[in-house]
Amino acid sequence: MKALLLAGGLGTRLRPLTENIPKPMAPIANRPWLEHLIVHLRDQGVNEFVIAAHHCSEVIRRYFEDGKRWNVKITYALEPFPLGTAGAIKNAERWLDERFLVFNADIVHLPQLIPLLDFHRQHGGLATIVLTEVDDPSSYGVVEQDDRGQILRFVEKPRREEAPSNRINAGMYIFEPDVMRYIPAEREVSIERETFPLLIEKNVGVYGIVSNGYWRDMGTPARYRQVHWDALSREFPIPLKGREIQPGVFVGENVEIGSGVLFVPPVLIGDHVKIGPQAVIGPNAVIGDRCQIGARVYCAQTIVWDRSVIRDRSRLQNSIFGYRTVTPAGEVFEDSIINQFKEAVQA
């Protein structure tokens, strides 16, 4: 089974964190989200991946290479300029000669594939759009379906009381190769505004099915933080590295913990981390691999990426720190997003 992972977006809403990495490479629980997704799909039988990349594509290629480390095959479809969702699919056409999956790789969702694939086979159409249900659909494109699940139309950002349903595009698709006939080449193409309306008009069979489980767009700092807090609370049951040294506190390998350190759960600490005396870590704190946390540091509601140095007496609250950030001693950071280091994530 093949999957196309769409990772070519610019990630503008997460800047400055995404100035030097693609958004799907941002870490979730100390591991690039794209790696979580590939491992999850591999474990369900997907063994070939095509990654559509544009912004900072070399970061993805250096990290994953040909995929052998993960026991999968990875090919790269590089976009010469941003092509949009459907344009990126068309750009990867040469590798997609059988039924294939498509994922917006910045959507945090770990679907169970078998019921989705069974539904697609049974309806016999060209396309299945995986849907999720939201409380308020007024900020999304909402689908209207018949009783067999066929999608009749999209309603873009309706008023809540006028929405035909609460089902929205979850950013995952199952396509037959013939779908390529309906996507023009070598230009930007919107799948929502161009491709799906055309497929519905041509009556080639566009169906939708709800995928249950955790779903979130991690495209803003607030949403990115919330994914972490949901992972720590286990609302989002993503695997957490490390051992649980006290309820809700997960610590990786070779971690040095100074005297008088207080952990306020939930907390996740990566590998090879040093924490100075009398530091207070948590609640809702994620510390990446090989970080150094100074004495009497206070760190809460904060995510610190790998190899950062937080000097003595610093106070971190509701903030995100990119790779290899170094903070001055005694500084206060509140509602901050810091990205100092211009080198990409390392595998």
Kindly give, in sequence order, each residue whose CB lies less than 8 Å from that of residue 222, ignoring residues fewer than 6 positions away.
Answer: none
- Any idea what the Cα angle at residue 219 is, between residues 217 and 225, rounded to 5°? 85
CA distance 150 to 165: 13
Nearest by Cα to 142 from 208, 211, 227:
208
**Total tally of structural domains belonging to the chain:** 2
CATH code for the domain of 327: 2.160.10.10
With residues binned 3-state (H G I as helix, E B as strand, rest as coil), the percentages for the chain, rounded to 5, are 25, 30, 45
Position 10 scores a pLDDT of 64
Per-residue pLDDT of 239-294, as tens digits, reads 898 999 999 999 999 999 999 999 999 999 999 999 999 999 999 999 999 999 99
For tokens 């849907």, the residue is 131
Q: Where are the alpha helices (DSSP H) in 167-220?
A: 196-201
pTM of the predicted model, to two decimals?
0.90
Peptide bond into 111 cis (omega under 30): no
Q: Are 308 and 256 within 8 A, CB to CB?
A: no
Q: Are residues 261 and 146 in the same domain?
A: no
Q: Are residues 300 and 181 in the same domain?
A: no
Sign of the CA dihedral with 313 first, then 314, 318, and 324 last = negative
Task: Among 180, 215, 250, give the residue marking a domain's end.
Answer: 215
pLDDT bracket for residue 346 (50, 70, 90)? low
Kindly give, in sequence order, each residue whose CB lies less than 8 Å from that of residue 105, ignoring residues fewer than 6 positions away.
Answer: 5, 6, 7, 24, 33, 34, 37, 51
Residue 282 belongs to some domain of the structure: yes
Q: Are residues 149 and 295 in the same domain?
A: no
Q: Are 109 and 214 within 8 A, CB to CB?
A: yes
Q: Are residues 73 and 161 in the same domain?
A: yes
Q: Are residues 177 and 312 in the same domain?
A: no
Q: Are residues 76 and 121 in the same domain?
A: yes
Residue count of the chain, please give it. 347
Q: Are residues 199 and 271 in the same domain?
A: no
Beta-strand pair 215-217/107-109: antiparallel
Q: What is the mean pLDDT of residues 136-154?
A: 88
Position 17 scores a pLDDT of 78
CA distance 225 to 194: 33
Give residue 306's domain range.
239-336
CA distance 102 to 174: 6
CA-only gyration radius of the chain, Å = 21
pLDDT at 342 over 70: no
Q: What is the mean pLDDT of residues 316-343?
A: 86
